[in-house]
């Protein structure tokens, strides 16, 4: 028997280790950037960022900056993770697709809001390391695919939310197609050496697309499979 009012339960791993640093990090996001989304700030306090940071970067795991994660890639600055999360429509029934798994940290933050997190990484060793991190710490519901995220993940589409953490020159058409009517996408757009803009894309119930630039950003480029 399925009860429509049933509250979905899923694993959201926790630790007290370095909690004081996470509290400070969340306070900084609120204070320095005038960011007040309390649900997202709570998620930032709950997710142990140090689980996703390589050993050489452990001292800086809670610093207000991006960090190298190997293979020329970076884990985004905490404020950017918080901001991108806060504009997405997320509840326990939302399906969210992330392009650019990297360390897995952003996916773990999304997992605080919904068990339906799908994430794609093109660099195999990074994808495999993220899978191991998820297994080790008990993120049982996050689904990872190793491949070119430009094409999205049609088997699980449509998505209520799509978050892209690497920058293409223009918005990939397959991702627009895989966005649900009423859904939202957050994507950095721009060239490798030029200014990138973080773009908020809305798809209306009538399948109309509207785009708005929200801030200048700097992400690693989205690369294609056969580049």
Q: Which residues are catalytic?
A: 76
Say how far apart CA 127 and CA 89 lie, in whole Å. 25
Q: Which is nearer to ligand SAH, 8 or 192 (CB)?
A: 192
- CA dist., res. 165 & res. 170, Å (int): 14
CB of 124 to ligand SAH, least distance (A): 10
Choose one: 1-9, 38-46, 120-128, 209-217; the region binding ligand SAH (CB under 6 A). Answer: 120-128
Select 35 or 105, whichever has its Cβ closest to ligand SAH.
Answer: 105
- Give the 3-state secondary structure of residue 158: coil
Backbone angles phi, psi at 202, to 5 degrees: -115, 135
User: Which residues have C-beta within 8 Å of that of residue 190, sequence separation ≥ 6?
Assistant: 167, 169, 196, 197
Shortest distance, position 181 Cβ to ligand SAH, whole Å: 24
Out of 100, 152, 183, 188, the only residue in the binding site for ligand SAH (CB under 6 A) is 100
Stretch 59-88: interaction string toward ligand SAH, x if CB under 6 A: --------------xxxx------------
Q: Which residues of the chain form contacts with ligand SAH (CB under 6 A)?
A: 73-76, 99-100, 102-103, 105-106, 120-123, 126, 148-150, 165-166, 220, 222-223
């Amino acid at each position: 028997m399925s009860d429509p009012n049933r509250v979905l339960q899923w694993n959201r791993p926790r630790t007290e280790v370095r909690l004081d640093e996470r509290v400070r990090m969340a306070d900084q996001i609120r204070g320095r950037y005038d960011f007040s989304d309390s649900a997202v700030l709570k998620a930032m306090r709950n997710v142990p960022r140090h689980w996703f940071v390589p050993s050489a970067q452990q001292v800086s795991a809670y610093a207000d900056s991006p960090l190298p994660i190997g293979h020329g890639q970076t884990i985004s600055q905490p404020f950017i993770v918080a901001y991108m999360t806060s504009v997405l429509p997320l509840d326990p029934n939302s399906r969210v697709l992330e392009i650019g798994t990297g360390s897995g940290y952003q996916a773990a933050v999304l997992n605080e809001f919904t068990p339906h997190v799908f994430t794609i990484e093109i660099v195999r060793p990074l994808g495999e390391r993220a899978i191991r991190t998820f297994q080790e710490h008990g993120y049982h519901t996050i689904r990872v695919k190793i491949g070119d995220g430009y094409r999205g993940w049609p088997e699980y589409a449509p998505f209520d939310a799509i978050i892209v953490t690497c920058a293409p020159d223009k918005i990939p058409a397959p991702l627009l197609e895989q966005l649900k009517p009423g859904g939202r996408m957050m994507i950095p757009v721009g060239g490798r050496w030029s200014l990138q803009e973080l773009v908020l894309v809305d798809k209306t119930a009538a399948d109309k697309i509207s785009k708005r630039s929200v801030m200048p950003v700097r992400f690693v480029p989205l690369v294609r499979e056969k580049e």
